[in-house]
Amino acid sequence: MPRLPGLSKNLSAFLTTITVSEIGRPLMAVSDEGYNVIVGSTVERPYLFKSYATHPMRYNPAVKSDAAGAYQFMGRYWFYYKRALALTSFEPYEQDRIAICLIRECKAKEAVEAGDFGQAIHLCRSRWASLPGAGYGQHENTLDFLAKAYTDAGGVVA
């Protein structure tokens, strides 16, 4: 699923797991694997953006968010990461780069690479509201559900 080349099997599977958690496989199937999804989308009513030139910045008052993309990045953080990572667009591979940066910020990359899946999810829960223990008051997926998504994507649990 990730579009950034050269990723390890576990990092690629972990990125896919985040997208499955945030977007869900049904919505991934009716979009560009989630990369063009705007928060508030459903399979029946997908809100998709057409241009990857920049973060779409479409605020959804029903959910009080402007999250977008496969990893549901908030618009307010887009400009920081655009500058910090010298991003040229919101293309899928650039979204992958931001997600990897967030994983590193959470000090979870080593756990991801080592296949310490539960620890990696625990460390990243502050960045993605759908992860167990995130505490944002939104739907949180179970660790078992996410572990299946991870192994289905080719990840290896140590």
Structural domain contains residue 157: no
Structural domain contains residue 3: no
Structural domain contains residue 45: yes
- Kindly tell me if the per-residue pLDDT of 1 is higher than 90: no
Reported as a single tens digit per residue, the pLDDT across 66-107 is 999 999 999 999 999 999 999 999 999 999 999 999 999 999
Quick one: 114 exposed, middle or buried, by C-beta within 10 A (0-12, 13-18, 19+)? Answer: middle
Structural domain contains residue 2: no
Q: What is the residue range of 22's domain? A: 9-152
pLDDT confidence of 130, banded at 50, 70, 90? very high
Structural domain contains residue 1: no
pLDDT confidence of 37, banded at 50, 70, 90? very high
Summary mean pLDDT of the chain:
97
Structural domain contains residue 135: yes
Active-site positions read: 22
**What does the alpha-carbon distance between residue 62 and residue 40 come to, in Å, rounded to a whole number?**
8
Residue (of 134, 94, 118) closest to 14 by Cα position: 118
pLDDT, average across residues 33-43: 97
- CATH number of the structural domain spanning residue 23: 1.10.530.10
Specify the pTM. Answer: 0.97
Structural domain contains residue 139: yes
Number of domains in the chain: 1
Structural domain contains residue 86: yes
